Amino acid sequence: MSIAPASPRAVRIAVDAMGGDFAPRAIVHGALLAALEDGIDVLLVGRRERIERELAHFGRQSATLEILHAEDMVGMDETATA
């Protein structure tokens, strides 16, 4: 996986798919909508199997949407620096 966008004019955005209200469904849906826009590449970070399940729920894929599997998460009761 490259950190560079797919095309020179594209913008790559990394999104924490597991954080926020109604995650991962709401996050994945918004990321998918963004990835369908011209010039936006989206990298969803989180638990691959849950992200893929949500993508399947919406029945769509995007060539400019990638998943970076991350098993660990920082809980709401934890500090980001341990």
- Report how far residue 74's alpha carbon sits from residue 80's, in angstroms, rounded to the nearest whole number: 6
Domain that holds residue 40: 11-69
User: Is 62 a member of any domain?
Assistant: yes
User: Is 3 a member of any domain?
Assistant: no
User: Is 51 a member of any domain?
Assistant: yes
Per-residue pLDDT of the chain (82 residues; tens, 9 = 90+): 565 656 666 789 999 999 888 889 999 999 999 888 878 899 999 999 999 999 999 887 777 889 999 987 777 787 877 5
User: Is 6 a member of any domain?
Assistant: no
Helix (H, G, I), strand (E, B) or coil at 28: helix
Domain count of the chain? 1
User: Is 5 a member of any domain?
Assistant: no
User: Is 19 a member of any domain?
Assistant: yes
**Residue reference for tokens 């893929």:** 52
**pTM for this prediction:** 0.78
User: Is 75 a member of any domain?
Assistant: no
